Amino acid sequence: LDLNQYKSFYGSPPLSEQIAKTYSKELKRDINPKTEVLVTVGAIGSLFCAFQAFLDPGDQVLCIEPFFNLYDPQVRFSGGEFVGVPLVYKHESPEYSSKNFKLDLDELRSKITARTKLLLINSPHNPTGKVFSMEEMEGICKLAKQHDLIIVSDEVYERMILSDLPHLRPATFDEMYERTITIGSAGKTFSVTGWKTGWSIGPPD
């Protein structure tokens, strides 16, 4: 059985091929399993690889607050500076809902500096459950292109949407695939967190 044999450093070919097949539909483009898919030890491994690959000492990473508690230490371990951009709660509906959390795009824009390298987003969002709206995602992508930022899109909860809003992937927006790393997780999708299997999808270069 090849289960007991060494695998490719980039991931088991059958797994990479299935990920590429699935995300070719999701991202509306042909994904090459050999050059555009990286299988990692959990989504945490994918995040770590992205930070190690793109960050130089002093580079800034903007992240929406609140956030998963391993984002900050991974950025700092990679030599980067972590900069938070808080969601704003606006009680616009009678019930308490994740939809009431809003991203202030002007606040996000104000945090961008000459040292900003990455924009880390998480939608569906942990811990609020918020799904970013079309207006918010379009604004994020516009800022990324204007300021030449790379988006690291943590989408591990992509199959767990408790909202009437659709899940929007930044990599599907115009001219965004080339500057987006999309991260997924078998643990969250299939409820097998102990397997520690994650993946990154992005342009070959």
Residue 2's pLDDT is what?
65
* Residue range 163-202, pLDDT digits in tens: 778 899 999 999 999 999 999 998 787 778 887 889 999 9
User: How far from 142 is each of 122, 125, 134, 170, CA to CA, in Å?
Assistant: 17, 20, 12, 10
User: What residue spans define the domains of the chain?
Assistant: 1-39, 54-185
CA distance 1 to 159: 31
pLDDT of residue 3: 66
Say whether domain 54-185 belongs to CATH 3.40.640.10: yes
- pLDDT tens digits along 2-25: 667 777 776 788 899 999 999 999
Q: Indicate if the pLDDT at residue 1 is higher than 60.
A: no
CA dihedral 56, 64, 35, 74 (to 10 degrees): 50
| 78 residue type, one letter | S
pLDDT of residue 50: 97
Angstrom distance (rounded) from CA 151 to CA 153:
6
The answer to whether 140 and 108 are in contact (CB under 8 A) is: yes
Question: DSSP label at 152?
Answer: E
**What are the tens digits of pLDDT across the range 109-167?**
999 999 999 999 999 999 998 999 999 999 999 999 999 999 999 999 888 887 778 89
In degrees, rounded to 5, the angle at the alpha carbon of residue 133 between the alpha carbons of residues 127 and 134 is: 150
- The tens digit of pLDDT for each residue in 51-106 reads 999 999 999 999 999 999 999 999 999 999 999 999 998 877 667 778 788 999 99
